[in-house]
Each structure stands twice: as C-alpha cells, then as structure tokens.
Amino acid sequence: MAYMGTKRFSISAREEIHDRIRAHAEAAGVDISTYMIAAAIQQMIRDDQAAASFATIDAEIAADTARSGKVA
C-alpha cells in the first residue's frame, strides 16, 4: 500500500464552538485533529449513504425525463 502524505486544514470557529470541540475531543481521549477527522468521515459516510439511497430514483426520473423530452 502506498503511503499518502498528509495535508493541513485550517478551520475557524466561534470561541464557544472551539471550546466544545476541544472538550469533546479531550473526553474522547484524542486530539482535536483526530476528533475533527472522525467527525468529517462520519458525515461523509452519511452523505454517501443519502446519495446512494436516491440514486435509483434519480435514475428513474432522468429516464422518464429523457423519454418525455421534457426538461426537469
């Protein structure tokens, strides 16, 4: 497996949000970067699942639109 380098993100948050993220990360026993990456990965999984759940109906709508010649 090839090693892929890491890249840095810089994000800004209101102080109260920053403090809550830090507290949650500390409670989980991880640093903020690890916590934020885990949260982002979970969101991406939810996004992918939502997109997949609509893929079939989106394809059906596109096919119906193509057959009717109407613009969706």
Q: How confident is the model at residue 66 (pLDDT cuts 50, 70, 90)?
A: confident
| Calculated CA dihedral for residues 55, 60, 61, 66, nearest 10 degrees | 130
- Predicted structure pTM score: 0.69
Provide the 10 A C-beta neighbour count for residue 21.
16
pLDDT of residue 20: 98
Cα separations (Å) of 67 from 57, 64, 72? 15, 5, 12
DSSP 4: -
Q: Residue 58 carries which side chain, given as an amino acid letter?
A: D
Question: Which whole number is the average pLDDT over 65-69?
Answer: 85
